[in-house]
Structure formats: C-alpha cells, structure tokens
Amino acid sequence: MAVVVLDKICKTYGNKFHAIKDLSLTIEDGEFLILVGPSGCGKSTALRMIAGLEEITSGTLSIGGQDVEDLPPKDRDIAMVFQNYALYPHMTVFDNIAFSMKLAGKSKAEREKRVNEIAKVLQLETLLQNKPAHLSGGQRQRVAMGRAMVREPAAFLMDEPLSNLDAKLRVQMRAEIAGLQRQLGVTTIYVTHDQTEAMTMGDRVAVLKGGVLQQVDTPKALYHHPVNAFVAGFIGSPSMNLFEGRLENRSLRFASVSLPLPPAAFERAPGLARFEGKSVVFGIRPEDLYDSKLPSGSAFSTVPAMVKSIEELGSELIVHLKLDASRVDSGDPDAVEDLSGAANTVAKFEAASTIQLGQQIDLAIDASKLHFFDPVTHLAL
Ligand code: ATP
C-alpha cells in the first residue's frame, strides 16, 4: 500500500520565511491528488520535500508506511516527472526508458520486455529508436512518463509536466495522463498552477495559498462548497464574482438593488442568518448569471447592468458587465458602498444570447446559487 502521509510538514528558508506551514495531508493508495495554487504558494516545495530533493524543516513524511524524511531520493521508491522532461538527448527513446533498469543491472531481455510493455501503453512502439530531438512535445512527455513508469514506483510525483506543451496538446495529454494513472493505479501527486488541470484530472485537489493548505476535496466539492473566498475565487473559470453587500430583512442589499434571498440561500449558508443587519461578502459564479432568458423554477432577481465587452467563444459568450450602481441612494448613510466587483462582473451566457455591446440589461442572478463569506475571516458562512 503506497499511502503517502504528510504530518505537520513545515519548510522555512532562512530564519523566518515559511514556504510551507503545517501541511498535513494523506494521499491514499492509488489516488491522483493535485496540488494547486498561485505562483509562490509552495506547491513545488511540498513536492520536492516528498521527493527528498528539499529537506523538511519539521514534521514527518511516510510513503507506504515507512518514514522517509531521512532517506535520500533514490531510496524513497518514487519517480518524478519534471516540466522539462529531463530526457537524455543522445539516447534513443528505448534507452531513455530503460536507463534506470540498466543502472539497476537488469538483463537485456528483462529490459526489452518491460520497455516494450510500457511503449505499448504509451503508444511509443514505433518511436523506440528515435532520439528526443526527433519527437514532438507530446511524445517527449510520454517518454518522460515511460521513464517514471519503468521503475514501478510506489508513487509518481509530477511537477507541472504539461506546462511546455501548446494549449491543444495540453488538453490531450491531460486526458492521457489521467487515463494512464487510472489504468496503472499508482499513487500520484501532481503539481500545477492551472485550476482547469486540477479540476479535470484529480480524484482530489489540495488548494494551497501562502504555504497553507486551504482545502482538500473532490473537484466537485471544491466548486460547490469552497471553504473560503480564496478557494471560491481560485476554482472555476472564469472566476467567481465576489462582492460586498449587506443583509437586511433576509434580502441582500448591494449596488442599486435589494435581492430577496430564498430559503435555499439560508440552507446553503447555515451561518448567514447571524449576519442580519451586517455586511457580508458574497459570490456568484459567471455561469449562475443570465441575460433575460431565465430557466424556470429557480429563485431569480435582476440587477441593472451595462455590457462592457463580449468574448465570443463559439459555444458560449463571456460577458463583462458593469453593474449599475447609479441608483444607490447617495443620501442614505447606510448605503452600501460601490463594490469593487460591480465595476467588472463576468457572466457566461448561451451563444444564442442577443446582447449587444453597450446595452443596458437586467442581469438575472440565481439567488439560490449565491455563496456567502464572513467579511473579516473570509470563511464560508
Ligand atoms: P511556482 O508555481 O511559481 O513554481 P510554487 O507554488 O511552486 O510557485 P515554490 O517554488 O514552492 O512555489 O516556492 C514557495 C516560496 O518559497 C516562494 O515564495 C519562493 O520564493 C520561496 N523559495 C523557494 N525556494 C527557495 C529557496 N531556495 N530559498 C528561499 N526561498 C525559496
């Protein structure tokens, strides 16, 4: 069983800088876990500590039940796939894949058998005699995977393995790696800054910010139940729109409007009722905003908005809007301030939408899909 357990792992550089703070995480046997977060959040540092390429400042790490924090990388039974593939340019694909077996003293027959098996899985059979320079980016990526697979490690560690590929190939390789991981069933920890990769590939996703684990959950749970405003804004594309408003008489007051909140909003956010008469941060995903054509059966309210720009993606429109804050009662001392989010609200509309640039629309909000956060701690209510 290759369960990987991180227990209160810390990494400090110099005296004070905490690149990773108290990271506790269990990656189950055969699981595909994605570590995701913005640049500098510490995800590569975490992966490098698991690999043994970076010393752990404090905490414990075990792989397959064995404490490994004092073992060198070669004794940890892991294989790492890097962003630059690290292939030997002078060797053929066969020799690149077979390299670690050769080092381990395996016979030629054993090497041929194993490399041929792997080449079949990775569809590299016709390329075994090529040198890396004569391969496409995707093929090189597959050779790098082959090099990792040949060792039959307890765990694969992958650090942004797709970042050197063009957009189309990245999408293709995303599916290939995820499929391969499922087929092999090897515990895999995969680092990326790309939330789409995280959401489409992993069994579970761990979101890091500033060296601190924010949430670890299935992609679906992260999307529907983010624990705080950071995760809410990081997961999903385009990002969730976040605003500040005030809860008054079970309505949400913001910009020029007062949105009545349906019971479903209070059920989704059990802590919301405590904020009666107070400010709250709230969020709505672009896909939960609509132009005038409303799906039936949901709790909608409308907000006046002006169309600032339209990105036509063929299958849908990404629309940038300015919510009309001009109708806020300026004489009202309790008027909610104009919102940072109001200046640029992003919506995803159906391709059939007929909205025009500069048009004033009644933007429909599905109030049952709102997310609410504490304005001070930013934790989900
Ligand atoms: P990116 O996506 O940009 O690669 P990351 O999330 O992988 O970012 P890390 O490379 O893990 O981030 O770095 C985490 C933090 O630790 C960063 O602020 C970085 O500047 C810092 N850091 C990394 N290596 C060192 C080092 N050797 N000495 C000092 N600080 C370091």
Assess whether 244 and 222 both reside in one domain: no
* Position 357 in a domain: yes
Q: Is residue 269 part of a domain?
A: yes
Ligand 1: atom nearest CA of 45 is 11
Residue at which a domain ends, from 233, 253, 276? 233
Here the CATH number for the domain that contains residue 343 is: 2.40.50.140
User: Helix, strand or coil for residue 58?
Assistant: strand
Average pLDDT rounded to a whole number, residues 202-218: 95
Give the C-alpha separation, 222 to 195, whole Å.
11
CB 25 less than 6 A from any atom of ligand 1: no
Residue minimizing CA distance to atom 3 of ligand 1: 39
Mean pLDDT of 150-166: 85
Does 379 reside within a domain?
no
Question: What's the rounded Cα separation, in Å, for the pair 181 and 155?
Answer: 11
Long-range CB pairs of 106-114, under 8 A, 24+ apart, other chains included: 114/150
What is the CA(191)–ligand 1 centre distance, in A?
A: 13
**pLDDT category of residue 258 using cuts at 50, 70 and 90:** confident
CA distance 42 to 209: 8
Residue 191 CA, closest ligand 1 atom number:
7
Asked if 247 and 312 sit in the same domain, the reply is yes
- Count, in order, helices (H) and strands (E) of the chain: 10, 20
CATH number, domain with residue 165: 3.40.50.300
Residue-number span of the structural domain to which 227 is assigned: 4-233
CA distance 158 to 279: 42
Q: Domain check: are 88 and 132 in the same one?
A: yes
> Do 45 and 123 belong together in one domain?
yes
Ligand 1 centroid to Cα of residue 39, in Å, is: 8
Q: Is residue 135 part of a domain?
A: yes
Q: Please tell me the distance between residue 255's alpha carbon and the centre of ligand 1 in angstroms.
A: 40
* pLDDT of res. 301: 78
Average pLDDT, integer, range 25-33: 95
Check pocket membership of 42 for ligand 1, CB cut-off 6 A.
yes
In this prediction the ipTM stands at 0.95
Express each pLDDT in 104-152 by its tens digit: 888 999 899 989 988 888 888 899 999 988 888 888 888 988 888 888 8
Residue 74 and residue 206 in one domain: yes
State which of 21-25, 69-73, 347-351 shows the largest mean pLDDT.
21-25
236 touches ligand 1 (CB under 6 Å): no
Amino acid in position 67: D
Q: What's the confidence (pLDDT) of residue 323?
A: 82
Beta strands in the chain (DSSP E): 4-13, 17-27, 32-36, 58-63, 66-67, 78-81, 155-159, 187-192, 204-209, 212-217, 241-248, 251-254, 257-260, 279-284, 289-290, 300-312, 316-323, 345-350, 360-366, 371-373
Q: Are residues 225 and 278 in the same domain?
A: no
The lowest-confidence range among 21-30, 60-69, 73-82, 253-262 is 253-262
**pLDDT tens per residue, range 296-331:** 666 677 888 889 999 998 889 999 998 864 433 333
Residue 381 belongs to some domain of the structure? no
Q: Does one domain contain both 357 and 215?
A: no
Is residue 27 included in any domain, yes or no? yes
Whether residue 13 is found in the same domain as residue 159? yes
Same domain, 167 and 251: no
Q: Which of 217, 233, 249 is the last residue of a domain?
A: 233
Residue 67: HSE in the Cβ half-sphere, 13 Å Cα cutoff: 7
Cβ neighbors of 72 (< 8 A, separation 6 or more) are 52
Q: Is 193 in the pocket of ligand 1 (CB under 6 A)?
A: yes
φ, ψ at 29 (rounded to 5°): -60, 125
DSSP H or E segment with residue 162 = none
Residue 65 has pLDDT above 60, yes or no: yes
- Indicate whether 111 and 51 sit together in one domain: yes
Confirm whether pTM is higher than 0.90: no
115 touches 107 (CB < 8 A): no
Residues 207 and 283 in one domain: no
Question: Does residue 122 fall inside a structural domain?
Answer: yes
Same domain (yes/no): 172, 305:
no
